[in-house]
Amino acid sequence: MTTDIEKVRSLFVWMGCQNFQSGSIPNGKEDSPLSYMSKVKKKTMSYAAFFVKICRAAGLKSVLIKGIAKSVVYDVGDPLEELQQLRNNWCAIHVNGDWRFVFPLWAYSAVEGGKMSRSKASPGSAVKKFNEFFFLTDPDVFIHFAFPDNPDWQLLTVPLTLDRYLEEPYFRQPYFENKLQVATLLPGVQKAKHGIVEIGMKSLIENWQGLLTYQLFFNNKKSTEVLPKKTQLSNFVLMDRCNSNWKFTVRFPIDGVYKLTINGGVPPKSNEWVCDFKLVCKTAIEDIPPLPCDTGAVGWGPSNNLEQYGLTAPSHTHGTILTKLRQYLYIGFTLTKKLFIRSELIGNKYKPSELDQYVDQRITNRELVVKVMVPEDGEFALRVYARETKKLPEENVINYLITTDDPSGPRTYRKENAFEKNLRKELIKVISKKAKSRRDFLKIRKDLTDATVRRHYGTLDTAIKKARESKYEAKLKNTTKKAEEVRNEVYSTWIHEILDMKPSTVAEVKTYKNPPSAIFDTMKAVYLLLGESADMLKSWEDIHSVLSTIGNDSLLQRIKTFQTSQLREHALEEAQKLTEQHDLPSIKSKSPAAGTFYVWVRDLVNMINDERSNPKRKKKRKEISTFSAKTTSTKKSQ
C-alpha cells in the first residue's frame, strides 16, 4: 500500500470484518490492536477512537471529533436538552490533501425491522451492516448527520449554526443518495395554516426513475386530543405528482402533533427512509373528510414511469383538477401500445357502481379520452387501470383528485358568459377537425422537449432531425433551437464531467487489488480509446501501472488532450464490446469514478457511430470541440 486512500480503505475494511459482538478477544499488550479491540468489546473505547488509533499508527493524519449525532432514536424537532443523549464521536481523516469524515459505528451497523402499525411507529433493532455512505463522507453532506462541538471541524466555508441544525428536517441517507431536495427551504417543524401543511420535494437527477411514498403518524403523548380509532391517516395526505416533483398536502382531522415520514428511492429500493417532518396543528378544519381513496405509491397525477405502461402526453399534468358541478371534464392520453383500459370514479359517500354513470372513456386512433362529471360538490377520485391482455391483472397507472374545492384553500369561480360559451363550442369543433394534425405536432414537440430534459446526445439528434424535416419546422423554431443548444452542451458536459474529477476520486479506482469485471472492462476500454495496446492491458496489474502515471501522461491529462482523429478502428470496436457487457447502475454501485469513465466511453462510442450514419454531425461536433478546447484552455489560464 502506497497511497493514503489505499491505507485508510484497508484499515476500514479490516476493522469492519472484526467481530466485536461475540467471541472472546484477548487483552494483548498495551497499545496493541488486540488491547484496543478488547476495550471496544468491553465498551471502554469507541469504534471511532480505535479507528483513529490504527490510522495514526499507519501514518495517517486523523482526529477524533465529539459532538451530537442524529441517530435512529432522534425524533425530528427534539429540543437541545433531549439531544444530549445523542452525544457521539467520529473521525476526520486526511487523505490526498483533503479532510474527509468516517463514522465507523454507523458504517458497521444500522437499524432494520421497524414496522408501522396502523398509525404508530414501532422501534427497530440493531443489526450488523456494512455501509459505505459513512466512509470518506463529504463535509457538506455529513453536517446534516453530525454536529461537532468545535465548529472548525464542520470543514465548511460557512459553518452551520446549532439552531439551524436543530431546525432542519431529519434527513436520512437515501435523501442524499437520490439527490432529493425539499423544494422550499422548510424547517423540520411545520405549523399548520388553516389546518393544512404543504411540503414540496423533487430530485435533482434528470429523469429520475424513483418513487416517493409517505406515512403520517399521530403523537398521542404530545397531543391533547385523542385520535379516533378508525381514522386512517394515510387518507389525509394528498401526494400530488408532476413527473419528478412531489407535493404533500396534509389536512389534519384533529388538532395535535404529527410526524410525516417520507420514504422512497429507485426500485427495488423504493421504500427507504428519506426524511421526517414534525407537524403541529392547532387549527384543524372541523369535520374535514378523508380523501376518497388511498392511492399508495402511485399517488395523484402523472409519474415518470407512466410511459412504461403505454400512456404518454397526459392532458392534465398535475394530480388535482378543479371542476364545476354538472360540467364534463375531458382527460386525454396518447397510447403507445394496445391496452385494455378501465376508468372508475370513487367518492366517500358512494359505492363504485353508483358512480359508473358519471365516467366514460373512448379510444380512437391510439388516443384515450376519459369523460367524467361529479354528481355533487366535493372531492372524487378518478382511477385509471391498464393491462396489455385480459389474462393479466390490471394495474392502477394514474389517479386524479377531481374537486369542486381547492384542497389547499378557498377558490371562487366566475360564471362563463355567452361569448365564452360560444367560443368554447367553436374551439371544440376546430380541435375535432384538426385533431390528427395537432397530435402530430404535439408528438414532435413532446419528443423535442423530452429529449431536451433527458439530455442524451443521440436522442436529441433524432428529435431535432424529425422536427427539421416536418411541416411544423417554423412553429417549432424556438423549441428546436433550445434542443440544439442542449445537444451542444451535452457533448462538452460529458467531457467536463471527466475534466472536473478530482485526482482523489480517480485514486479510488486504484485502491482495488482485484476489481470486479465491470470496473476492469471499463478502465480497459478507456485506455484502448486513448491508444494503449491491448497486449499491454491484459491484467489489472497492467492497468494499475498506467493508472499510477502522473504528469502529462496521467489519465485525466490524456483525456483533456484526446482527439478522435487519434482513434483506431479496432480500439473503438473492442471498447464497445467491453462496455456493452455491463450497465451504468451496476458499475456506479461498485465505483462512482468508474461510472463516470463508463459514461465517457459509452457516449464517445455512440457519438462516433452516429457521425458515421450522418456525416453532417461531424462538422457540428468539431465546432463544439473547438469551444470545449477553448474552455479547457481558459481553465488552465485561470
Residues 6+ apart with CB under 8 A from 183: 200, 201, 202, 245, 247
* Cα separations in angstroms, 19 against 15, 35, 80: 9, 14, 34
- Of residues 37, 86, 89, the one with CA closest to residue 65: 89
As a whole number of angstroms, the distance between CA 123 and CA 114 comes to: 5
Rounded mean pLDDT, 479-496:
71
- 381 sits in which H/E element: strand 379-387
C-alpha torsion 39→43→44→48, nearest 10:
80
67 close to 144: Cβ distance less than 8 angstroms: no
Type of residue at 355: L
| Of 169-178, 475-484, 516-525, minimum mean pLDDT range | 475-484
Is residue 219's pLDDT more than 80?
yes
Laid out side by side, the sheet with 62-69 consists of 135-137, 98-102, 87-95, 62-69, 146-148
pTM for the model stands at: 0.59
Place of cell 412504461: 308
Task: Reply yes or no on whether the pLDDT at 608 is more than 50.
Answer: yes
The dihedral sign for the CA sequence 151, 156, 161, 162: negative
User: What is the grid cell recorded at 244?
Assistant: 419528478
Residue 96 scores a pLDDT above 80: yes
Q: Tell me if residue 378 falls in helix, strand or coil.
A: coil
Is it true that domain 180-290 has CATH number 2.60.40.10?
yes
Give residue 548's pLDDT: 80
More confidently predicted of 273 and 127: 273
State residue 456's pLDDT score. 65
Least confident of 64-73, 281-290, 561-570: 561-570
> What is the pLDDT confidence band of residue 123, given thresholds at 50, 70 and 90?
very low
Q: What CATH class is the domain 303-410?
A: mainly beta
pLDDT of the residue at 447: 85
Give the confidence band of 185 by pLDDT, cuts at 50, 70, 90: low
* pLDDT of 280: 94
**DSSP-derived secondary structure letter, 334:** E
Spatial contact of 277 and 219, defined as CB atoms under 8 Å apart: no
Q: Which of 122-131, 166-175, 348-357 has the lowest mean pLDDT?
A: 122-131
Residue tagged 441517530 (cell numbers): 71
Query: Residue 627's pLDDT is what?
Result: 38
pLDDT tens, 560-602?
777 666 678 888 889 999 988 988 888 888 888 888 888 888 8
CA distances to 142, 148, 251, 315, 488 from 102, rounded to whole Å, are 9, 13, 41, 49, 40
In the chain, CATH 2.60.40.10 sits at 180-290, 303-410
Cβ-Cβ contacts under 8 Å for 430 (sequence gap 6 or more): none
Indicate the helix (H) or strand (E) that contains 125. Answer: strand 125-128
Yes or no: is domain 501-637 CATH 1.20.920.60? yes
Q: What is the mean pLDDT of residues 202-222?
A: 88
Residue 546 pLDDT greater than 90, yes or no:
no
Find, among 348, 225, 198, 204, the residue nearest to 288 by Cα.
348
Sign of CA dihedral 361, 362, 367, 372: negative
The region of weakest confidence among 12-26, 279-293, 589-603 is 12-26
Residue with cell 425530528: 76
Place of cell 378543479: 322
Per-residue model confidence (pLDDT) at position 416: 44
Whether 390 shows a pLDDT value over 90: the answer reads no
Indicate whether 426 pLDDT > 70.
no
**Residues in contact with 17: Cβ distance below 8 Å, sequence separation at least 6, in sequence order:** none
| Residue 115 pLDDT level (bands cut at 50, 70, 90) | very low
Q: How far apart are CA 61 and CA 99, in angstroms?
A: 9
Give 246 or 436, the one with higher predicted confidence. 246
**pLDDT for 259 beyond 70:** yes
424 vs 430: CA distance, rounded Å:
10
CA–CA distances in Å: residue 55 to residues 9, 139, 470: 10, 19, 65
At 125 the pLDDT is 44
Out of 36-45, 193-202, 329-338, 557-566, least confident range = 557-566
Average pLDDT taken over every residue of the chain: 81
User: 325-378: per-residue pLDDT in tens?
Assistant: 888 899 999 998 889 999 999 999 888 789 999 999 998 888 899 999 999 999
How many residues are present in the chain?
Answer: 638
pLDDT of residue 611: 65
DSSP code of residue 30: T
Helix (H, G, I), strand (E, B) or coil at 570: helix
Q: Determine whether 222 is exposed, middle or buried from the number of CB atoms within 10 Å of its CB (0-12, 13-18, 19+).
A: middle
Residue 203 has, within 13 A of its CA and on its CB side, a CA count of 24
For residue 427, what are the contacts with CB-CB under 8 A and spacing of at least 6? none
Distance between CA atoms of residues 318 and 15, nearest Å = 50
CA Rg value for the chain: 29
pLDDT of residue 448: 85
Give the 3-state secondary structure of residue 451.
helix
